[in-house]
Chain A
Amino acid sequence: MDLHKLSLKEQLEGLKKSEFTSVELTSHYLKRISKHDEKFNSFITVTEENALMQAKAADERYKKDKSLPLDGVPIAHKDIFCTKGVRTTCGSKMLSNFEAPYSSTVYTKLDEQGMVMLGKTNMDEFAMGSSNETSYFGPVSNPWDTEYVPGGSSGGSASCVSAELAPIATATDTGGSIRQPASLCGLTGIKPTYGRVSRYGMIAFASSLDQGGVVARSAEDAALILEGMSGHDPKDSTSLKLPSPDLTKNLKDSIQGMKIGLPKEFFEQDMPSYVEQSIQEAIETYKSLGAEIVEVSLKNINLSLPIYYIIAPAECSANLSRYDGVRYGYRCEDPKDIEDLYMRTREEGFGAEVKRRILIGTYALSAGFYDAYYLKAQKCRQLVANDFTNAFESVDVILSPTTPGTAFKAGEKSDDPTEMYLQDIFTIPANLAGLPGISIPCGEHDGLPLGMQLVGNSLQEDKLLQFAHSYQSNTDWHKKMPNI
């Protein structure tokens, strides 16, 4: 039986009905990983022994009729989530041997609901990148065509779910790191409202933008797990004081009469005709489902990229100052004094993109520049957020492409950092405004998948998932999987 062809929801039902055991399901995935992952490099660490132990425990609970809500279903975790007893590298040489003394809330919550961890997925170093080429553990390839990138920074998570080496994976999104790889790998990826998912134990990049979420094969699967990850956490001071939302209740409701906004500024941009065509077809599908299409204006949206490239590096330069070679992580050989220890540890321990961003952030925050850059950017950020607030007065969701095109070839953009940054042009605004966003597959070009993005108002993940599910109930794009 091809267990990996079942949706996560079907797997959970199968386990409940004793059609197969968690050990069988878990072993099935572990075998697929060991057989195929050499081609994709989507895992940094595979936790085989631990996974089988967790699976066995889940099976015991099923036998005793004491099963947990997500009992026995496998998941892969992005290697940014700390997991006690299993190393957490964040894709960096700096943390290549780091074993966190505690687990992230995301891991703990899913573990407590019975999920089985298959391993830790590859990622751009410290989540900085859009192609998964900056990982110290080597680049990840796209299962649709291994010459192409899977996107980033959650490239390993997207790659392994797309290759069906895991039914679902956790991911994080600071400027598009869930939605962009989901688009490039033909998956459903959701970044919830800022503060929905606890950042405790999720290694920090840019704290005011970072948010955890999932990449899945459908909105239905994503809803199930996102619900399990969400909820207030006193250990994260920016965590919203709200209970975990019910994301499956309205999933199947009709979107008849609901309004989709198309931001005219996005559609004024040059985009390849195949992108335009796929988006147009998606709009037609939504119209046929009873949604009303309305033009909206996000007039400051063109400021998003420069705002992001001030705020994210500024926050990263502060967050990454903790990697000093003293308390944990990499330390250079034979430091001659403490300065030399810091300077060389950080020179050797960080990769090129991480160093660029730390330096940019240090510059933006340095004496004399703070007002001109960081403060100005935070004000502009409010302008972008206000645009969304205005738009959501007249629409339910905002639709756009997720990415400017399908996946690009490995190496194609790695020489020019600013060219790479354009990958996130459609996704960054939602992070700036703290809004939930989802990418769902809506087309393909030359054998590579393409996604559309829906952005919702604060706390309306349920509505986003409802729109996504409604589309997926009437189209097949999300069912297409690469031949690996």
Chain B
Amino acid sequence: MALSDKELKEISYLARINVKEESFSSLKKELEQILTLFEELNEADTSSVDAMSHPLDLSQPTRKDEVTEENKRDELLKNAPSVKSGLFIVPKVIDGEA
């Protein structure tokens, strides 16, 4: 199954994964190979079945709306690559003057 250059660029942006120019065409080929597998499903007659949601057909359980998590701010921040004043630091998101 063919994947266009444009499609690969689009999905790599949607997935937020940069693809280097030099690996672009080999990656495209690999993905096309995998997508070819998908075509085997076209033959299957699925008109009489519903999509599976849970193998044992269970409904989603609910629980009481109670706070069960304790505040672990400091502990959680310990794994962050960049932190300042108890906040996650990222490059500037909004440009321009206020």
Binding site for B on A (CB under 8 A): 97-99, 101, 193-195, 208, 234, 237-238, 240-241, 300, 302-303, 305-307, 309-310, 317, 321, 324-331, 335-344, 346-347, 350, 355-356, 358-360, 362-364, 366, 373, 375-383, 385-386, 416-418, 421, 433-435, 458
Q: Which residues of A lie under 8 Å from residue B51 when comparing CB positions? A: 375, 378-379, 381-382
Could you pull out 15 A-B pairs where Cβ atoms are within 8 angstroms? A238-B54, A238-B58, A241-B61, A309-B37, A310-B41, A328-B80, A329-B81, A336-B91, A338-B91, A340-B91, A343-B16, A346-B17, A379-B51, A386-B49, A418-B33
Partner of B88, one of A326, A386, A433: A326
Please report the number of residue pairs spanning A and B whose Cβ atoms sit closer than 8 angstroms: 171
Chain B interface, DSSP helix/strand/loop, else mixed? loop
In the complex formed, the residue of B with least CB distance to A330 is B81
A324→B79 CA distance, assembly (Å): 13
Known: A338-B91, A363-B7, A433-B55. A350 touches B37 (CB 8 A): no
Contact (Cβ within 8 A) B55 A194: yes
Contact (Cβ within 8 A) B56 A355: no
Contact (Cβ within 8 A) A343 B17: yes
Contact (Cβ within 8 A) B41 A376: yes
In the complex formed, the residue of A with least CB distance to B3 is A363
Say if the beta carbon of B15 comes within 8 Å of chain A: yes
Partner of B11, one of A240, A366, A383, A433: A366
In the complex formed, the residue of A with least CB distance to B16 is A342
In the complex formed, the residue of B with least CB distance to A361 is B15
Give per-residue flags for B1-18: 1 if the beta carbon is below 8 A from chain A beta carbons, else 0.
001000110111111111
A240→B33 CA distance, assembly (Å): 37
How many B residues, CB 8 Å from partner? 52
Partner of A303, one of B33, B44, B88: B44
Contact (Cβ within 8 A) B15 A359: yes
Q: Which residues of A lie under 8 Å from residue B7 when comparing CB positions? A: 363
Chain A interface, DSSP helix/strand/loop, else mixed? helix
Known: A324-B16, A382-B51, A386-B49. A360 touches B33 (CB 8 A): no
Known: A360-B34, A376-B41, A434-B56. A331 touches B50 (CB 8 A): no
Contact (Cβ within 8 A) A338 B90: yes
Partner of A306, one of B12, B41, B60, B80: B41
Partner of B91, one of A238, A335, A364, A418: A335
A343→B15 CA distance, assembly (Å): 8
Q: Which residues of A lie under 8 Å from residue B16 when comparing CB positions? A: 321, 324, 339, 342-343, 346
Known: A99-B79, A346-B15, A382-B52. A326 touches B90 (CB 8 A): yes
Partner of A317, one of B15, B52, B56: B15
Q: Which residues of B lie under 8 Å from residue A362 when comparing CB positions? A: 11, 14-15
Contact (Cβ within 8 A) B56 A366: no
Contact (Cβ within 8 A) B44 A360: no
CB distance from A344 to the nearest CB of B (A): 6
Known: A101-B75, A347-B20. 9 other contacts (CB 8 A): A234-B63, A306-B38, A307-B41, A309-B37, A338-B91, A340-B91, A366-B14, A381-B52, A421-B37
Contact (Cβ within 8 A) B46 A327: no
CB distance from A134 to the nearest CB of B (A): 14
A362→B19 CA distance, assembly (Å): 14
Contact (Cβ within 8 A) A240 B56: yes
